Chains A and B, each alone.
Chain A
């Protein structure tokens, strides 16, 4: 079954901004109350309570709050320009100091939008991106319960604007699978020769566990899994300069009539500011449906980087064959801060690629 992109737009759930703000205020109040205790290990060590890009540690609660924000300006080909505070994301992490840890990410997407005619908060979308509880095992094998990012490829698990080099996201990293899973995951690492092997095995039951599942999915995602079983393994070289990952997931998605099995291969190499990465995602159970990109990053001056990406997308869940070139310039004066400028040029099919110029500022706070 194929999906018309337009049918996905109305599926976004809009929650009034007042409700979002009430949630944030309640959370802030709870954090403030629980923070009124004796010093923690962090405080004993003399860690500063707040560091840019590392969050704010609160008393002896084991709670750290932080997040990221990004603002974007888009001037797409054949469409009017638009500016937006595109992501306002709040992280709350908790560490018991023993075997339990928890993490939650709440996000207001498109909090404020500005175009030629008006400024508005009407497109604001509140999303519970992730919420999970981890149990730490001694021998590098841990358990995760809750909602987490689906481990297919590298990009989806580090997709925040301040962590990636481009404003536009490759279709490969979002089109062929649900970006979130809800269920249980076994994860950890093992020594493998001189290198290290990270692994993730997961079972998803979003149909039962995530009642507000991806009805608010952005366009170009399949929507939530109904259920899924998947695995990912990543080998890290001994010098940690390169890694290669394999992913596989078998799933039923809520917009698909039949079950899908997809596989992924990804590669990442980093050295002295240079970076080369690639991801391929393909359907195992059906003919010629695949998507892949290759991206290179090179430092061109102090704090300045040139980025180029070539992507081919072939029918993976959406009709069409798209070829996209993305050329970008990134200024990163501090590790948690990135200013990006980019131009996307592709054979735009049904709005699958966002051709045109865009700029953004993104910060981890």
Chain B
């Protein structure tokens, strides 16, 4: 049987469209863990593991390898991106994490700093050496370096990308 001439074109078009769709889908379901370019150079770290990120966001790791202080950033407790981040990293809700912070507070340890928006995360990490935050992958720009991406189950970042 002879293959129709237009079949390769159709196939190519289909593959292109589906791959574009996949890129969009991935960005909508991914958080980027970012630091400033200067911080990335200073801390000599190009990649974080999930375990390291957990320690940073539990404030069990307070120093980078070079001895600089880690300044972890959270979005507000009501921000859906914060809920998605907490669920993905700790498998817990923001409210469940409050119990953990109560116990740490008893030892004088405060939770990560809180900022209002993803733009505030970008500004803060650019301004403060050692700062680290999370934003929707689609919001990454040339001010920051991505140390890790974190998949999330719910498409919360699709709202955060608009």
Contacts and interface: CB of A to CB of B under 8 A. Distances in A.
Tell me if chain B binds chain A.
Answer: yes
Contact of A162 (B51, B60, B102, B124): B102
Interface residues of B, number: 36
Contacts of B99: 270, 335
Interface of B: 51, 55, 60-63, 65, 67, 69, 71, 73, 90-92, 95, 98-99, 101-103, 105-111, 113-116, 120, 124, 127-128, 131
A278 to B, nearest CB: 18
A38 B111 CA distance: 22
A45 B108 contact: no
Nearest to A198: B60
A138 B65 contact: yes
A240 B60 CA distance: 14
Contacts of A160: 106
Given A55-B105, A93-B108, A46 B60 contact: no
A253 to B, nearest CB: 25
Interface stretch (A25-33, A71-79, A96-104, A315-323): A96-104
Range class of the A interface residue count: 35 or more
11 contacts: A41-B71, A41-B113, A53-B101, A53-B105, A55-B110, A93-B109, A136-B62, A163-B102, A163-B106, A335-B98, A335-B101
A275 to B, nearest CB: 10
B43 to A, nearest CB: 11
Contacts of A191: 51
Interface of A: 41-42, 44-48, 53-55, 57, 64, 66, 68, 91, 93, 97-99, 101, 103, 136-138, 140, 158, 160, 162-163, 189, 191, 196, 239-240, 270, 335-336, 364
Contacts of A97: 69
A98 B69 contact: yes
Nearest to B49: A191
